[in-house]
Amino acid sequence: MGSYDEADSGTIGVINDYEDSQPATPSMEEPKVVGAAAVQAPIISSYNDKIRPLLDVIDRLRLLMVMKEGIQLPTIVVVGDQSSGKSSVLESLAGVNLPRSQGICTRVPLIIRLQNHASPRPELYLEYNGKTVPVEEPQIATAINIATDEVAGPGKSISDIPLTLVVRKDGVPDLTMVDLPGITRVPVHGQPDNIYEQIRDIIMQYITPKESIILNVLSATVDFSTCESIRMSQQVDKNGERTLAVVTKVDRAPEGLVDKVTADDVNIGLGYVCVRNRIGDESYEEARKEEARLFETNAHLSRIDKSIVGVHVLAQNLVRIQANAIAKCLPEIVKNISAKLDANVSELEKMPKALTSIADATQAMMRIIQAAKESLKKLLWRGEFDEYPEDNTKHGTARFVEMLNRFSDELHNCEESNLSKDFLTEEIKGLEDARGIELPNFLPCEAFLRILRRKVERISYLPIKLSEKYWDYIDDVVMSVLTRHSEMYYHLKVSAKGAAHNLGQKLREQSINRVKEIVEMEKLTGYTCNPDYMMEWNKLMKQQDHFINQISGTNMWPLPCSVDLEGLGEIQIEHLRKHSDVSILQQAFDLKMRMVAYWKVFKELMGPDGHGIKMMLVESPAIVAKREKLKNSIKVLKESKDSVAKIMDGIVAYDACLV
């Protein structure tokens, strides 16, 4: 984020110009200007017109809880180890008494909003749990304790739910700060064992955003490098560019303090301010006078540069740093609000409108069914995959081809496709079994059909398995498409998926039964009128004479053990020489070639009133909640954008006047 000392806007330029024109911090010779109200008056009278609008818009955004939308706001976050004097510093700035107790007295994030107010009667109130509670100044500590108990529960537990204290009082600086629980490592009675982790998580939540200004409260009595608050702030702000340190209890350990704040061994980029807090029943004005006297007269503390001592200097630095931060972050805040608003509006527009009538429900249902139908046509028919470009499991036509290819491989690699094994053995046996009254030179039809039936029976499970895989895949795609198109309407999704599944099961059963019928038809008769079959059979039969000669071995020695047949490969023939009847071999060869041709071609061919409708379109609670969340978010972001736009217009106008 960079140093907050940069004067990068017209507003901040005016603030710095004002500081340069002011006299040095008054000495003890002018005690009348060291009172709390007196030392702060010049800051307020000069800064208020420029800073108050900046703070107002940030406070408005914080009140709108825009941070829940992921928009970070510039915030002064006050951290410190337990008993470091954190509450006393805030009391000095606010001019009111905050809760005091042994152990942790701040159990929730306390947003302190200070507003300089000319009225002689201060206005104080607490904001928490959606309510605003006016408070009288003497009862402010009691009221904070009561509110804390309501937010965090009675006892000593802590909570990350904040409460806000608004102080409108004459003489206070215009500041908004968040006071966080003091860091403790050892739980006391009544605190959870992981109290340190809980406090650490809350602190890190607030100081991590680069927009946060870290006000690190350090006791002069300890080594700064050992402070847990320093260790935490260094984790998120290594170079200290957004960390300011305020050193308390200087009267208890004045020796060597000047060296500690000038050496800066712990990287406090925004510098140190040393203060003396109230002691006992001192009034705030008395405390400021004692503070000025201490830094003027103490032998050790008087060596510290007057530009870094006193509560009034702390207030002045915080106002300047805060104004710089707001002015610097405001353009980015506007940009982030606009981007988040546009994104939410776009997302809301994509959501289906809420259905308020049966006609709306019917229309929406028909629209969903039509959209799902079109998606299924694309995926399962036309091969268009634009709706699922990355999910190739939904690319239906391509997956169908894969399944067909696997089916073809299984068919070609099954036992029945091995045409050379025990060549002609089955055919000869079939012919012998079918001998009877027959016409000369005609093959018995029964022999062919018997062999065909056996082969078809052995591979009949393959087309059925393919059909089942097809329908399993189709069911998955249909369910996925219906889910996507009806996601916003839970009841419709359930009903549509149930109806689609039932319909799919009926069609699946019909399809598989049809496949079984086709398989049975193949067993009944040979469909040998196919021209491809006749062409293949004629080509194979041209090898018959050569085959018979190889078996008989006429004019050959030694006799061949095998013969190479086109379309079948190397065929063993020795086992056929035991058949002396050449005619039976010729018939068996013919029968085999008919079966080979047939097999090759076979493998190559491979509610009345609408109430039911309305109920189906009832949205799921998650969708209703999401729509409402988006609407609320858009409302907050629009209000935030308008609020920021007004202050931005003011800044631009003011900058123009400076030119």
CATH of the domain at 581: 1.20.120
Q: Would you say residue 25 lies in a domain?
A: no
Helix (H) or strand (E) holding 230: helix 228-236
Cβ–Cβ < 8 Å for 233, 81: no
User: Does the residue 27 lie in any domain?
Assistant: no
**Are 435 and 505 contained in the same domain?**
yes
DSSP state at residue 416:
G
* Element (DSSP H or E) covering residue 565: strand 562-565
- pLDDT score for 22: 35
Domain assignment of residue 175, yes or no: yes
Does a structural domain hold residue 493? yes
Farthest CA pair distance, the chain: 146
Give ∠ CA 324-329-333 in degrees, rounded to 5. 150
Look at residues 339, 369, 333 and name the one whose alpha carbon lies nearest to residue 489.
369
**In-domain check, residue 180:** yes
Q: Report d(CA 166, CA 179) in Å as an integer.
A: 13
Residue 627 and residue 542 share a domain: no
> Between the CA atoms of 532, 533, 534 and 536, what dihedral angle is there, to the nearest 10 degrees?
80
Record the tokens describing residue 254, joined without a space: 């004045």
User: Domain check: are 573 and 625 in the same one?
Assistant: no
Domain final residue, candidates 328, 350, 381: 328
CA pair distance 265, 262, nearest whole angstrom: 9
* Tokens coding 517: 């019928």
This prediction has a pTM of 0.57
- Clarify whether residues 462 and 438 are in a common domain: yes
Angle between helices 358-377 and 490-524 (to 10 degrees): 40
Q: Residue 77: enclosing H or E segment and its boundaries?
A: strand 75-80
The amino acid occupying position 655 is D
pLDDT score for 14:
33
The Cα 594–Cα 536 span in angstroms is 9
CA 421 to chain centre: 62
Tokens 């018997």 found at: 450
Work out whether strand 123-128 and strand 131-135 pair parallel, antiparallel, or are unpaired: antiparallel
Record the tokens describing residue 135, joined without a space: 């408070």
Partners of residue 81 on adjacent β-strands: 183
Please tell me whether residues 384 and 304 are part of one structural domain.
Answer: no
Is residue 321 domain-shared with residue 384, that is, in the same domain? no
Instruction: Give me the CATH number covering residue 223.
Output: 3.40.50.300
Cβ contacts of 575 within 8 Å, gap of 6 or more: 422, 425
The parent domain of residue 267 ranges over: 71-328
Does 392 lie in the same domain as 284?
no
With tokens 């103490």, the residue in question is 298
Instruction: Evaluate whether residue 434 is within a structural domain.
Output: yes
d(CA 496, CA 326): 54
When divided into structural domains, the chain yields a total of 3
Q: Across 175-321, where does the E strand assignment appear? A: 175-179, 212-219, 243-248, 272-274
Per-residue DSSP letter, 129:
T
Same-domain status, 323 and 402: no
pLDDT score recorded for residue 99? 84
Pair of tokens at residue 141: 């500590």
At 271 the pLDDT is: 93
Radius of gyration of the chain from Cα atoms? 45
C-alpha 94 chain-centroid distance = 41
User: What interhelical angle do 10-21 and 36-63 show, nearest 10?
Assistant: 170
Q: Return the bridge partners of 43, or none.
A: none
Tokens in use for 53? Answer: 């609008």
Domain identity same for 118 and 174: yes
* Cβ contact 275:311 at 8 Å: yes
Tell me if 217 is assigned to some domain.
yes
- Taking residue 226's Cβ as centre, other Cβ atoms within 10 Å add up to 10
Q: Are residues 323 and 375 in the same domain?
A: no
What is the rounded CA–CA span in Å between residue 69 and residue 647?
20
Do residue 584 and residue 630 come from a single domain?
no
User: Can you spell out the DSSP letters for 475-538?
Assistant: HHHHHHHHHHHTTT-HHHHHHHHHHHHHHHHHHHHHHHHHHHHHHHHHHH---TT-HHHHHHHH
Rounded Cα distance, 505 and 498, in Å:
11
Q: What stretches in the chain show pLDDT beneath 50?
A: 1-46, 606-613, 657-659
Query: Do 179 and 324 share a domain, yes or no?
Result: yes
CA distance 334 to 61: 11
Q: Token pair for residue 287?
A: 């405390």
* Alpha helices, DSSP H, located in 298-387: 311-350, 358-377
- In this structure, what are the phi and psi dihedrals at residue 384, rounded to the nearest 5 degrees? -105, 125
Compute the Cα dihedral for 515, 517, 522, 523 and give only its sign.
positive
79 is a domain residue: yes
CA-CA-CA-CA torsion sign (511, 512, 518, 524): negative
